[in-house]
Amino acid sequence: MIDLDYITEKCNSLPWVTWDRCVLMDEYDHAVVYGWIDGEKPGRSDFVVIQFWFDEANDDDAHQLSFLTSSALWSPTIYSILLPDIEHNDCQTVQDMLPELHYAVSR
């Protein structure tokens, strides 16, 4: 079972994010939390989604997480806080990665 204090601690480590929604699944073995970062342009916001899961098979740390954000500005900082041992990957637009995707946001 995921420790809700663990989720709170990780979310609180990103004080510039306004947390909005949370879904707890699989009897609290899996959770998704998302929030918003003020965008660089007025009236725009970027999202942050953190996915938490509990992996009993992992002897080092049963609490696992991954995240996704639309903020190119904040992504490296979020990586360094939440996943300090993992190399940062730059966010790509869907137009670049999946050019045949229908209904993609145009820039």
- pLDDT tens, N- to C-terminus, the chain (107 residues): 888 899 999 999 999 999 999 999 877 789 999 999 998 788 889 999 999 998 777 766 778 999 999 898 999 999 999 999 888 888 777 778 888 888 777 65
CA distance 44 to 58: 39
CA distance 98 to 54: 31
| Token pair in block for residue 84 | 């300090």
Domain-wise residue ranges, the chain: 4-97
CATH topology of domain 4-97: TATA-Binding Protein (3.30.310)
Structure confidence at residue 37 (pLDDT): 96
Task: Name the one residue in this structure whose structure tokens are 């916001």.
Answer: 45
